[in-house]
Amino acid sequence: MKIELFKLGSISIPGYGFMIGIGFIIALFVGEFRAKRKGLKDEAVIDIAVIAAIMGFIGAKILFIIVDFKAFIQDPLHFLGSSGFVIYGGIISGILCNMLYCKVKKLDFLTYFDLIMPEISIAQGFGRIGCFLAGCCYGKETDSVFSVVFPPGGQAPSGVALIPVQIYSAIGNFIIAAILIVFADVILKKSKKSLPGDIASMYMVLYGIGRFVIEFFRNDYRGAIGFLSTSQFISIFIVAIGIALYVVKHRRAAKTITY
């Protein structure tokens, strides 16, 4: 854990915020590079990235508040100033706001949605490394050799061996990003059956399944709906929407070709 990563004079640079910033910059560069190769507007990629970052931050914080609203009412300033976020809130708000942006700019949303999702996954990977440095989003206790013991001062329980779910989540996000880029830029590029929205569908299915599974190994409070955590509950719908988007688009395309 490294809550304070380093100092620049009297300015303290937190590990969590630094990793979020690094993830955003790398994702932006990768997005611009891929946009130019695909003949898309790289300035639109910058706009979409900025909107996703700002609205993602706001949405993730809002869902974090909703999940534990009773505690928020008791100490709202603590909640607003904490590093607590629920990433699904950020994903949902970022997508909705960028749908509006693409509509205003008369851009095909699904085309840019496909372009940006691998970069979103890259940014999420760095974000999870930030979680590890901050000691948040921690895992359950374990006697496995693949464990981490956090020192006092963070959100995670100190002095006990925990599953390093933050690192596993980061690796999973980087793997998803690699899979999406390979499919988008190599495999589906040669396929005449690929349609706008295919990569977005793949992201929703892969991330939704991965998030559903990793939630079983986390031990921080994330709200609950029945026996599922809030994120697991949302994951079911994310996977369903991803599958539905793919099926509907391809069925419509098949009917158009048939008739």
Question: Which amino acid makes up residue 128?
Answer: R
- Eight-state DSSP code of residue 157: P
234 has a pLDDT exceeding 70:
yes
Give residue 68's pLDDT: 72
Q: How confident is the model at residue 201 (pLDDT cuts 50, 70, 90)?
A: very high
26 has a pLDDT exceeding 80:
yes
Residue 174 token pair: 């980087």
**Among 72-76, 181-185, 192-196, whose mean pLDDT is lowest?**
72-76
Give residue 193's pLDDT: 76
Gap between the Cα atoms of 124 and 52, Å rounded: 12
Query: Nearest CA to 210 among 235, 243, 178, 234?
Result: 235
- β-pair partners for 11: 8
Give residue 8's pLDDT: 64
User: To the nearest whole percent, how much of the chain has pLDDT over 70?
Assistant: 90
In which residue are the tokens 């690796």 written?
171
CB-CB contact of 63 with 88 (8 Å):
yes
Torsion from C-alpha of 208, 210, 212, 217, nearest 10 degrees: -160
